Amino acid sequence: MFRKAVFCLFLVLCAVVVRPVQGFAATEIICSSTTSTDNSGLFGYILPLFEKKTGIKVKVVALGTGAAIEMGKRGDADVAFVHAKEQELKAVKEGFFVNRHDVMYNDFVIIGPVDDPARIRGMKSASEAFKKIAAAGKFVSRGDKSGTNTKELQLWKMVGIEPKGQAWYIEAGQGMEKTQRVADEKRAYTLTDRGTWLATKDKDRLAMAILVEGDPMLFNQYGVMAVNPARFKGVKYKEAMEFVDWLISKEGQQTIASFKDKNGNQLFFPDAK
Amino acid sequence: MSSIYDSFSQALSLIFHLDAELLGIIFLSMKVSCIGLLVAVVLGLPLGVFLGIKKFRLKGILITVLNTFMGLPPVVVGLFLYLLLSRSGPLGFLSLLYTSTAMVVAQSILAFPIVAALTHSAVIGVDPVIGQASSTLGATRLQVSLAVIREARFGIVSGIVAAFGRVVAEVGAILIVGGNIAGYTRVMTTAIALETDKGNFELAVALGIILIAISLLINSVLHIVQKKGMVGVS
């Protein structure tokens, strides 16, 4: 019995070792991106179209923007699709990436409990709203160097508040959707991107509302850039550039614009130049 | 947030309407876990037997290390493996990061100490007379080892079952080295983590139920194998 079992296991091993040889035909590239982009369903919508046209499969690893850029810097991605323009331009300048392009945008909004204990509803300035939250509310931060987190820290800096370590400041260390849920449970405020908010507020039954929006400071630009092939030999630069070029082409831009969530909201607005 | 009851009832309907994507995730989970376990057994079983039979210096230290590694934190294994396999790491030329092969390697590393250490425990529990008797009867070293393995097989199978439990439940390491890429490296545990993150509790619960059911099935099979083996003891 024992010997038979061992023999079966051996057969399985042989079968599996032989199998991967077949899988080399299609070209695959790895795209490091962000949880907010991936969770919105955008990739599930646009990638099959791109794959059909070019035969290139794009494998998406979704992280926070900071981690996604780091991944590219280590050469572990072929292309990065993220949203923290300053960090992106810095990484290009340092020689880790090439050919960065604006692709699309959406915007950040400040959400909080419907009864709005800090009384920020309808305020025009996001930073002024942050001041009020610091004084009379609780705030849940992504705390993960993501694009959203970067924007949030920028806003705290503007008003000269150091939130870290404060009793009212909670660092979730989670993706956007989970952070929203933490904020909901804690009856706190948070900064989120409109895409994630629209896609999840009903499903997660959040007792929250958009309280501040429309401040130019809350603009959320997405960019794409290829990992510098001069730096990493194994990088699939040609295919990565095909993806970049498609995203900023008329066809790619139209595809992004036509992506809608379940309720028919457009989540991303193409703005490639 | 949806109630537990809602999640469960919707999860059950998802299980009855398995779609191709879900099946792919389940298949990959099983594939990665089983191969990882197999590699661990192929390497760990001989080592465990060797440690049980042979006497040599530093043996105590080696066993202590193995016992410690039984509790290796998966995220740490994932991190080290990531640094090794990264294109800017020493093994970057292999292009293994974010592949199922990298996940198998992680699983083997986690399962190997369990197989080796528990095999060792089982082997030292075998009556030394077995080994002595077979060598006096003129058995070769390999034959002696096989006789000991035969005697220790229940303990060894328990070790393999424990190792399987570890790999099939593993999420930390394979998330780091696999990247949880849809259709390529997304397995049940990483899918559960992601769907929980996204608030799709029904799907997460469905996957959880399937995962536990499969574990139950495999453990039952192993239990039967063990029982049958018991009847055939010579």
**Are A181 and B101 within 8 A, CB to CB?**
no
**Are B38 and A12 within 8 A, CB to CB?**
yes
Q: Averaged in consecutive runs of 10 residues, what is the pLDDT profile of chain A (273 residues)?
A: 56 51 64 87 94 95 91 95 93 96 95 96 96 95 89 95 93 89 94 89 90 92 96 92 97 95 87 90
Environment class of residue A3 by beta-carbon count within 10 Å: exposed (0-12), middle (13-18) or buried (19+)? exposed
Q: Taking CA atoms, what residue in B is nearest to A196?
A: B198
- Calculate the CA dihedral of residues B34, B38, B41, B43 and round it to 10 degrees: -140
**pLDDT score for A139:** 96
**CA atoms of B231 and B234, how far apart (whole Å):** 9
- With cut-offs at 50, 70 and 90, classify the pLDDT of residue B230: low
**Are B87 and A76 within 8 A, CB to CB?**
yes
**Tell me: the pLDDT tens digits for B154-190?**
899 989 999 999 999 999 999 999 999 988 999 999 9
For an interface test with B, which of A2, A182, A208, A236 has the most B Cβ atoms less than 10 Å from its Cβ?
A: A2
Q: Is residue B9 part of a domain?
A: no
Q: Is residue B203 part of a domain?
A: no
Residue B222 has pLDDT above 90, yes or no: no
**pLDDT score for A2:** 55
**pLDDT score for A25:** 44
**pLDDT score for B40:** 97
**Are B1 and A181 within 8 A, CB to CB?**
yes
Q: Is residue B178 part of a domain?
A: yes
**pLDDT score for B220:** 87
Average pLDDT score over residue span B85-95: 90
- Please say whether the beta carbons of A103 and A81 come within 8 A: yes
CATH of residue B71's domain is: 1.10.3720.10
Strands A27-34 and A169-171, bridge-based pairing: unpaired
Set out the domains of chain A in order of their start, with CATH numbers: 27-105+220-270 (3.40.190.10), 107-218 (3.40.190.10)
Its domain, for residue B46, covers 21-188
**The length of chain B, given as a count of residues:** 234
**Tell me: the pLDDT tens digits for B19-75?**
788 889 999 999 999 999 999 999 999 999 999 988 888 999 999 999 999 999 999
ipTM of this complex: 0.73
Question: In whole angstroms, how far apart are CA A272 and each of A13, A218, A219, B30?
Answer: 49, 19, 15, 43
Residue A268 to chain B, least CA–CA distance (Å):
19
**Tell me: the pLDDT tens digits for A169-217?**
999 988 888 899 999 999 999 999 998 898 888 888 899 999 999 998 9
Chain B residues whose CB is inside 8 A of the A13 CB are 35, 38, 42
Average pLDDT score over residue span B106-131: 93
HEC secondary structure over B66-125? HHHHCCCCHHHHHHHHHHHHCCCCCCHHHCCCCCHHHHHHHHHHHHHHHHHHHHHHHHHC
**Are A205 and B38 within 8 A, CB to CB?**
no
Q: Count how many domains chain B has.
A: 1
Average pLDDT score over residue span B66-88: 93
Q: Is residue B227 part of a domain?
A: no
Chain A residues whose CB is inside 8 A of the B156 CB are none
**Are B225 and A1 within 8 A, CB to CB?**
yes
Q: Count of A–B CB contacts within 8 Å?
A: 75
Which residues of A lie inside 8 Å of B (Cβ-Cβ)?
A: 1-2, 5, 9, 12-13, 16, 20, 30, 35, 39, 44, 59-62, 74-76, 174-175, 177-178, 181, 200, 203-205, 232, 234-235
Average pLDDT score over residue span B201-218: 88
Q: Taking CA atoms, what residue in B is nearest to A59?
A: B181
Option in A20, A30, A174 nearest B98 (CB): A30
Q: Is residue B164 part of a domain?
A: yes
Strands A219-227 and A79-82, bridge-based pairing: antiparallel
**pLDDT score for B234:** 43
**pLDDT score for A7:** 57
**Are A12 and B182 within 8 A, CB to CB?**
no
Provide the H-helix boundaries in chain A.
2-18, 35-39, 42-54, 65-73, 85-93, 126-136, 147-158, 176-185, 194-200, 237-248, 250-258
